[in-house]
Chains A and B, each alone.
Chain A
Amino acid sequence: MILSILIAGVAVGSIYAMIGICYNVMYSTSKVLSFTSGQLGMLGAVFGAWLIGDLQWPIWIGFPAAMLVGVVFSMITEFIAVRPVLKNLDQHLYVLSTLALALMVQTAAAIWWGTEPRPFPTLVGLSPAGLAEKYWLPVLVCVLTMVSVDLFYRKTLWGRAFTAISEDADAALALGIPERRMRVISYVLAGFVGALAGFAGGQLLFAFFAIGALLTFYGFIPIAIGGIGSNRGALVGGLTVGILQQIANYVVGGVFVGVVTFALFIIVLVLMPQGLFGSTVARRV
């Protein structure tokens, strides 16, 4: 029983962690927490199921096509919901703009795809040591994503440019880093990561229009717990939320899962507002 709880918790926590990474990548160049992150996961699951499951496209075509949908939607998010409000970040207008866009895409998915959950196809067909693909695939993909994003930030010029912009956008601009182009590229990357989260987790969550809202909320909590901007924090936070949800469901029942999750969120915010891995920023006064 304990093993079953851990396996399920780690699997779903990995999906939350990847959505958290998606939030972080968008935040790194725009200082915007985009509420379309969860919908990227939904699009990855829905289009993956449609292209590979319904249209029977081979995985090597269906997978990049599903990722392309996430990338395009993320670029639309940057253009429509983020760029126009960047001048008024202190008014947090991005909350309304990204939420509105998220609701629009959710409704569009409900109309086109339908409001019933549909199956996501089996991709690899392997169950090592009896572990179903729906459990090991999200974990594997999450680990690979973490490592790749980490390497990207530390070893590539673009990654360093992202870091520079996130630390001091004005200084980065003064150094000639093309801020807008970097922001668009970061949203491309975020779109890929978000769609990948939904694609890898499709067998667990189903291809369902409603998972977007779920991932938006439960993908936000890991970065609040782990520290906004910290991908390691998103991983720890995501796994913590996933496992805690399963434990809460087992011990107190499904009705209280949301209560327990948000209680953890509030406790961490009160005790460590910067998150587990976030850093306090010194400000000259």
Chain B
Amino acid sequence: MTRSTTSLLRLFALAVGVAALPFATMAQTSAPPIKIGWLVALTGPNSSPGIGFDRGIKYAVEEVNQAGGIKGRKLEVVTRDTQGDPTKAVNAALELMNREKVDFMVGPTNSGEGLATTPLIARNKTPSMVYGVVDTLIDPEKYPFTFRILPSNKQWTDAAHNYILKNLNAKKVALIGDATGYGTATVNLSEQELKRLGATISYKALIEANQSDVNSDMQKAKSSGAEVILVWSDSAALNARLINARAEANWTAPIVGHPALGSGAIKPLLTAPGNWNAVYNIGYKQTSFDKAGKLPDETSKFLSSVVAKKVRVDDTTLWWIAAGYDAVQLIRRGYETAGSSKPEDVKKALESLRGFAGAYGRYTYTASNHNGYDVNDIVMNRADSFKDGSYTLAPGYGQ
């Protein structure tokens, strides 16, 4: 081969190499996306939290994709509106797993749907993050690939009990729940735990959510000598009636309990705005204002960046958006740590997380515990303090 032929060949190889560059780049960017199946109630009676979570998820996905994705793979969210209906949730879950072949499932957004879909998703060995609080949703043996973002119901009750016993220094508790499955189960759980912690249940009642008058219940609770009223109901009507009845009984004992005690639906049902004083609902440290009206620094930054991206926060609750955001961040960390998209590897990677700091809270998962939310981050908020998507910490948190 002559020198000129060799040079020609080298030049040809160089030309081919340069010409091939765009194809190499195309091959890199055409790595399949990581598909996230998102089961959410965006319409229907339980849609408020779902709308908030959805905003957080979409914001987080955009952020991750703009940074190049996870090891070059973009995230793709496939959303299905379950409308709060377990049957629709099951059908949607099956479709996402069998037809869309999602890599990871997030949701559903309430416990009733979660109880229906979790066994199916677990059987398919699809890693998933759930939002329901009911304790039986999480079981690392039965559902090894299912993890929870929100606290469990047990963690909620633990936080409320701690506040009653340590912050309020109350020992005699009037325990009230609604007559639903949730209310009944949670009242029984609270009763067991409070007795174990040395408190006295001076009054216990299960009240129909639609009961028109609760004055006699409140009178009985007051007569029992209770120092605090612990309420487990998500019914705005019942919670408003209890708050009003406390005022009519001229009783100033604090009311502590379910996050719904701070719901915006309660305010118009109160006979006087002041009735809402000394009512404390479950909240989260990361998304609570301190006494000076400030959010934690990291949360302020998160809020600023969310608002800058024109995500609406004024008509929802900040922790819903933050919890949606964290689901995606947890998935990102799981895939990055695993270095692969095999469900078993992702599962192990999530189980290795210790104190992973999200916008909503900190998460620690282990092989035997898939309830990752740090119970120390659950606080009580002043129910009447909702502003700009967040609540203020209840008194007694050493602000």
Q: Do A and B associate with each other?
A: yes
Shortest C-beta distance, A38 to chain B (Å), equals 12
Query: Any chain B CB within 8 A of the CB of A93?
Result: no
Q: Contacts of A5 on B, CB cut-off 8 Å? A: 216
In Å, the complex CA distance between A77 and B268 comes to 33
By the criterion CB–CB under 8 Å, are B213 and A257 in contact?
Answer: no
By the criterion CB–CB under 8 Å, are A117 and B236 in contact?
Answer: yes
A119 and B269 in contact, given A208-B237, A250-B216, A254-B179 (Cβ under 8 angstroms): yes
Contacting residue for B216 out of A206, A246, A258, CB 8 A: A246
A115 and B237 in contact, given A254-B207, A255-B184 (Cβ under 8 angstroms): no
Shortest C-beta distance, A151 to chain B (Å), equals 29
In Å, the complex CA distance between A119 and B240 comes to 10
Sort chain B's interface into a size bin: 20 to 34
Query: Any chain A CB within 8 A of the CB of B210?
Result: yes
Contacting residue for A12 out of B45, B208, B212, B236, CB 8 A: B212
Per-position 1/0 for A254-285, Cβ under 8 A of B: 11011000000000000000000000000000
Interface size on A, residues (CB 8 A): 27
In Å, the complex CA distance between A115 and B215 comes to 24
Q: Contacts of A11 on B, CB cut-off 8 Å? A: 212-213
Query: Any chain B CB within 8 A of the CB of A118?
Result: yes
Shortest C-beta distance, A259 to chain B (Å), equals 11
Shortest C-beta distance, A176 to chain B (Å), equals 46
Q: Contacts of A253 on B, CB cut-off 8 Å? A: 205-207
Q: Contacts of B207 on A, CB cut-off 8 Å? A: 249, 253-254
A4 and B206 in contact, given A117-B269, A119-B268, A208-B237 (Cβ under 8 angstroms): no
The residues in B between 195 and 239 inclusive whose CB is less than 8 angstroms from any CB of A are 205-208, 210-213, 215-217, 219-220, 236-237
Contacting residue for B45 out of A4, A115, A246, A249, CB 8 A: A115
By the criterion CB–CB under 8 Å, are B206 and A210 in contact?
Answer: no
Q: Contacts of A208 on B, CB cut-off 8 Å? A: 210, 237
By the criterion CB–CB under 8 Å, are B216 and A8 in contact?
Answer: yes
Contacting residue for A211 out of B210, B213, B236, CB 8 A: B210
A206 and B269 in contact, given A4-B215, A4-B219 (Cβ under 8 angstroms): yes
By the criterion CB–CB under 8 Å, are A250 and B220 in contact?
Answer: yes
Residue of A nearest to B219 (CB): A1
Query: Any chain A CB within 8 A of the CB of B31?
Result: no
Query: Any chain B CB within 8 A of the CB of A188?
Result: no
Q: Contacts of B216 on A, CB cut-off 8 Å? A: 1, 4-5, 8, 246, 249-250
Query: Any chain A CB within 8 A of the CB of B24?
Result: no
By the criterion CB–CB under 8 Å, are B265 and A117 in contact?
Answer: yes
Q: Contacts of A118 on B, CB cut-off 8 Å? A: 265, 268-269
Query: Any chain B CB within 8 A of the CB of A144?
Result: no
Q: Contacts of B205 on A, CB cut-off 8 Å? A: 253-254
Per-position 1/0 for A191-222, Cβ under 8 A of B: 00000000000001110101100100000000
By the criterion CB–CB under 8 Å, are B210 and A8 in contact?
Answer: no
Q: Contacts of A250 on B, CB cut-off 8 Å? A: 216-217, 220
In Å, the complex CA distance between A12 and B208 comes to 15
Q: Contacts of A254 on B, CB cut-off 8 Å? A: 179, 205-208, 211, 217
Q: Contacts of A119 on B, CB cut-off 8 Å? A: 268-269
The residues in A between 70 and 121 inclusive whose CB is less than 8 angstroms from any CB of B are 110, 115-119
In Å, the complex CA distance between A119 and B217 comes to 22
In Å, the complex CA distance between A165 and B285 comes to 69
Shortest C-beta distance, A279 to chain B (Å), equals 33
By the criterion CB–CB under 8 Å, are B212 and A205 in contact?
Answer: yes
Residue with the highest number of chain A CB atoms closer than 10 Å, among B184, B213, B236, B268: B213
Q: Contacts of A255 on B, CB cut-off 8 Å? A: 179, 184, 206, 208
By the criterion CB–CB under 8 Å, are B215 and A8 in contact?
Answer: yes
Q: Contacts of A116 on B, CB cut-off 8 Å? A: 236, 265
In Å, the complex CA distance between A257 and B237 comes to 18
Q: Contacts of A205 on B, CB cut-off 8 Å? A: 210, 212
Shortest C-beta distance, A208 to chain B (Å), equals 6
Shortest C-beta distance, A46 to chain B (Å), equals 14
By the criterion CB–CB under 8 Å, are A214 and B210 in contact?
Answer: yes
In Å, the complex CA distance between A1 and B224 comes to 14
A204 and B212 in contact, given A117-B237, A254-B205, A255-B184 (Cβ under 8 angstroms): yes
Residue of A nearest to B235 (CB): A117
Residue with the highest number of chain B CB atoms closer than 10 Å, among A4, A116, A246: A116
Q: Contacts of B237 on A, CB cut-off 8 Å? A: 117, 206, 208
By the criterion CB–CB under 8 Å, are A246 and B213 in contact?
Answer: yes
Shortest C-beta distance, A158 to chain B (Å), equals 34
Q: Contacts of B208 on A, CB cut-off 8 Å? A: 254-255, 257-258
Q: Contacts of A246 on B, CB cut-off 8 Å? A: 213, 216
Q: Contacts of B212 on A, CB cut-off 8 Å? A: 8, 11-12, 204-205
Q: Contacts of B217 on A, CB cut-off 8 Å? A: 249-250, 254
Given contacts A8-B212, A119-B269, 8 further A-B contacts (CB under 8 A): A11-B212, A117-B265, A118-B265, A204-B212, A206-B269, A246-B213, A249-B207, A253-B205
The 8 closest A-B pairs by CB, nearest first: A8-B213, A254-B207, A115-B45, A116-B265, A117-B237, A255-B206, A119-B268, A254-B208
